[in-house]
Amino acid sequence: MKRKAQEELDYEAVVIGAGVGGIYQIKRITDLGLRATLLEADEDLGGTWYRNRYPGARFDSESYTYGYSFSKELLSEWHWKERFSGQPENLRYLNFVADKFDLRQYMQFNCRVASMEWDDDAHFWTISLTDGRVLTTRFIVAGLGLLSTPTPPRFEGMESFEGRSWHTYHWPKEPVDLTGLRVAVIGTGATGIQVIAEIADQVGELTVFQRRPNWSAPLNNSPISEEEMADIRDRYDEIYELCAKTPGGFEHQPDRRGFWSVTEQERIELWDRLYDEPGFGIWLQNFAEIFTEEKANAEFSEYIADRIRQRVDDPAVAEKLIPTDHGFGMQRVPLETNYFEVYNRPNVELVDLSAHPIVRITPNGVETTETERPFDLIVYATGFDAITGAYDKIAIHGVDGVKLRDKWADGPITYLGLMVSGYPNLMMIAGPQGASASSNFPRSIEQAVNFLSELLEFSLAKGATRIEAAPEAEEEWTQHVQDMFARFLLRKGKGWITGYNSNVEGRESGVQRYGVYNGGAPKYHARLEAVRSNDFDGVSVR
Ligand code: NA7
Q: How far is the CA of 192 from the centre of ligand 1 (A)?
A: 7
Is 21 in contact with 429 (CB distance < 8 Å)?
Answer: yes
- pLDDT one-digit tens code per residue, 177-216: 999 999 999 999 999 999 999 999 999 999 999 999 999 9
Long-range contacts of 397-404 (CB under 8 A, 24+ apart): 397/115, 397/116, 397/117, 397/118, 398/118, 398/422, 398/423, 398/424, 398/426, 399/118, 399/120, 399/423, 399/424, 400/120, 401/117
Q: Which residues of 170-181 are buried (b: 16+ CB within 10 A; e: fewer)?
A: ebeeeebebeeb
Asked if the model's pLDDT at residue 294 lies above 80, the reply is yes
What is the per-residue pLDDT across 13-27, written as a single tens digit (0 to 9) for each?
A: 999 999 999 999 999
**What share of the chain has pLDDT > 70, as a percent?**
100
3-state secondary structure 355-412: CCCEEEECCCEEEECCCEEECCEEEECCCECCCCHHHHCCEEECHHHCEHHHHCCCCC
Residue 115 lies in a domain: yes
Angle at the Cα of 77 (from 76 to 82), degrees rounded to 5?
A: 95
* DSSP category for residue 3: P
CA contacts within 13 A on the Cβ side of 373: 24
Residue numbers of the domain that contains 38: 6-149+385-541
Closest by Cα among 412, 416, 374 to 390: 412
Per-residue pLDDT, averaged over 333-350, amounts to 98
DSSP-derived secondary structure letter, 82:
B
Angle (CA) 74-80-81 rounded to 5° is 155
Instruction: Say if 419 falls within a structural domain.
Output: yes
Chain segment 360-406, per-residue pLDDT in tens = 999 999 999 999 999 999 999 999 999 999 999 999 999 999 999 99
Separation CA 243–CA 253 (nearest Å): 9
Rounded distance between C-alpha atoms, residue 444 and residue 201, angstroms: 37
What span, in angstroms and rounded, lies between the C-alpha atoms of 56 and 153?
22
**How do strand 36-39 and strand 107-108 relate by DSSP bridges?**
parallel
Give the ligand 1 atom nearest the CA of 380.
Answer: 7
pLDDT beyond 80 at 260: yes
Which of 20, 351, 502, when mutated, tests ligand 1's pocket best, judged by the most ligand atoms within 8 Å of its CB? 502
Q: Indicate whether 118 belongs to any domain.
A: yes
Q: How far is the CA of 496 from the centre of ligand 1 (A)?
A: 8
What is the pLDDT confidence band of residue 6, given thresholds at 50, 70 and 90? confident
Distance 383 CA to ligand 1 centre (A): 4
What average pLDDT does this structure show over 133-161?
Answer: 98
Q: Is residue 428 part of a domain?
A: yes
Amino acid residing at 530: A
**What is the CATH number for 415?**
3.50.50.60
Q: What one-character-per-residue DSSP string does 460-525 give?
A: HHTT---EEE-HHHHHHHHHHHHHHHHHSGGGG--SGGGT--TTSTT-TT------S--S-HHHHH
pLDDT value at 507 more than 70? yes
Residue 33 inside a domain? The answer is yes
φ, ψ dihedrals at 439, nearest 5° = -145, 180
Query: Which residue CA neighbors atom 15 of ligand 1 most closely?
Result: 382
Report if residue 139 sits inside a domain.
yes
Ligand 1, atom nearest to 382 Cα: 7
Number of domains in the chain: 1
The whole-angstrom separation of Cα 412 and Cα 404 is 9
Ligand 1 neighbours by CB, cut-off 6 Å: 147, 153, 186-192, 211-212, 332, 353, 381-384, 496, 502-503
Sign of CA dihedral 32, 532, 488, 240: negative
DSSP bridge pairs for 378: 165, 184
Compute the average pLDDT of residues 424-452: 94
381 CA from centroid of ligand 1 (Å): 6
Distance 280 CA to ligand 1 centre (A): 19
| Closest protein CA for atom 36 of ligand 1 | 212
**Confidence band for 1, pLDDT divided at 50, 70 and 90:** low
To test the pocket of ligand 1, the residue of 369, 382, 508 to mutate (highest count of ligand atoms within 8 Å of its CB) is 382
Q: Classify residue 163: in a domain, yes or no.
A: no
Q: Which residue has the higher pLDDT, 387 or 6?
A: 387
Category of 150 on φ-ψ map: left (φ > 0), alpha (ψ -120 to 50) or beta? beta
Residue 170 has pLDDT above 90, yes or no: yes
Nearest atom in ligand 1 to 191's CA = 26
Nearest CA to ligand 1 atom 12: 187
Residue 365, in any domain of the structure: no
Q: Tell me, what's the pLDDT at 430? A: 86
